[in-house]
Amino acid sequence: MSFLGKIKDTFWEVGLQNELCEHLKSIGLNARIVDQKGEDGLRHTPTLGVFGNPPLCQIRVEGKNFDYVELYRAITPQQKKGFSVTIGPISTKSDARARDQLVYIYSYAVKADVGDKAKEFETEAKIIEKGMIKKEFVGMEWRGKKLAEALNSDPELKNMMYGIGVPHVKIEADKKDKYVGISVLPRRETSISIAGILIKHQMTVGRRDFPSGEAIKVYDRIAQHVKEVAGIH
């Protein structure tokens, strides 16, 4: 392979989408790779910046409440005042103790025309802690408007979130491109303790650190609430 070919292979992660698709199939999903610009793809309006749209790859999923699994790549650069990551319309921040690293961020997209109600879908999973010096995990809650209310009223979903370490989930609707994105973002904490039991937080860092079957069930249940709030049956 030529030098330029090696650069292209590294930058665009050739083969990664095939590996991801095969992994999704191995955990029971009816998945196939689609052309983002094709008839069956989810088109994204181009945005400015290195980490703007489109995603690294897009996989169509049948039989689930979410319609696509999208994969984004981002660098979390260390700064004096912390770092921020922007993926499409979604961003997150952490503190300066984090080191530069390449992270892969998954977004589970639900096709939905939300019209002028995009604000009703803006939701974020927040950890609840107590204690001034030594923080103690006491639970989690969804913060936002109508969708957050629906998610908070689902105790089984919260238990499922605890089971995968309460990942940093952020949900936003894209009015123009007609979808709701359920994104799993980097977070400073890599594990939390629930009732004295250490629970690892699933943060996608490695190339092959694909979502587990348990995580897929969580995001599918969230997508179910998204569809209900959006009036999709």
Question: Measuring CA to CA, which residue among 94, 109, 119 is closest to residue 53?
Answer: 109
Domain coverage including residue 57: 3-230
Q: Between the CA of residue 218 and those of 2, 108, 210, what are the distances in Å?
A: 43, 11, 14
Question: Measuring CA to CA, which residue among 84, 24, 15, 70 is closest to residue 184?
Answer: 70
List the pLDDT tens digit at each of the 233 positions of the chain.
Answer: 454 444 444 555 668 889 999 999 999 999 999 998 899 999 888 776 544 567 888 999 999 999 999 988 776 654 434 444 444 444 444 444 445 566 778 999 999 999 999 999 999 999 887 777 666 778 899 999 999 999 999 999 999 998 888 888 999 999 999 999 999 987 655 455 555 555 555 444 445 578 999 999 999 999 999 999 999 97
* DSSP code per residue over 14-62: TTHHHHHHHHHHHTT-EEEE--TTSTTS------SSTT-SSPSEEEEEE
Express each pLDDT in 29-85 by its tens digit: 999 999 988 999 998 887 765 445 678 889 999 999 999 999 887 766 544 344 444
- Residues in Cβ contact with 4 at an 8 Å cutoff, skipping those fewer than 6 apart: none
Q: What are the phi and psi torsion angles at 188 (to 5°)?
A: -60, -45
Report the number of distinct structural domains present in the chain.
1
Tokens read off for 141:
């809650």
pTM of the model: 0.80
Query: Tokens 């689930």 sit at which residue?
Result: 64
Using a 10 angstrom Cβ sphere, with 0-12 exposed, 13-18 middle and 19 or more buried, the burial of residue 146 is: middle
Tokens read off for 114:
């939300």
Tell me the C-alpha distance between 223 and 121, whole Å.
11
